[in-house]
A = this chain, B = another copy of it.
Amino acid sequence: MNSAIILSNINEHVQLTADERAYLESVLISRPFRHDELIVKSGDVARYIMFVNAGYIMSYYTDQEGDDHVVQFAAQGWWSGDLFSLSPDPRTIYSTKGLSDGELLLLPRSAQEQLFEKYPKFERYFRISFQTSLIRQQLRFIESYSLTAEERYLKFQLKFPTIDQYIAQKHIASYLGITPEFLSKIRKRLLLK
């Protein structure tokens, strides 16, 4: 298993010893996925959190009316946002799908608890990760109110300059909280400028 990316990611926040590194590697599970594969279905018991080691994935939420809402795109080097696997009821409310071929590294829930017990450094790493995710999530929430759909689309393009070739427009629309038709209009409007 190639764990270079996850290790360098963790190393940005805490310095791991050889022991800690070895232990982490011993509990990670490689999980390759294919383009368009449904990796996790909502309602599943998700006994792990996911690190994207290669490729692209997206997570989405299906509401009562059966409409999907894209919550997150994740590229190489990202954790997937589904944290329900860590709370008492591990049934996830998100589905996760591959947007390309790729590989996940799964960190099982049980292993994670042991990781925290054994090496508090990992607790620190995840504390920091959750904290920055929370800040980002709050900013995104604010933006969804204070920016127009067009501004949000422009921001999206800046944030994911390369990913969009992997993502269908309807999924981008869903991520932005608008209909595909309206995204179409925005794109046309932007071309004319």
Contact = CB atoms under 8 A, between A and B. Distances in A.
Interface of A: 61, 63-65, 67, 69, 71, 81, 83-84, 86-87, 116, 120, 123-124, 126-127, 130-135, 137-138, 140-142, 144-146, 177
A141 B142 contact: no
Contacts of A138: 71, 81, 137
Q: How many copies of this protein are present in the complex?
A: 2
A142 B61 contact: yes
12 contacts: A61-B146, A65-B146, A83-B135, A86-B131, A87-B131, A126-B127, A127-B130, A133-B134, A134-B134, A137-B137, A144-B145, A145-B177
Contacts of A141: 71, 137, 140-141, 144
A132 B130 CA distance: 9
Given A120-B120, A124-B123, A127-B126, A69 B134 contact: no
Q: Is the interface of A mostly helix, strand, loop or mixed?
A: helix
Contacts of A124: 116, 120, 123, 127
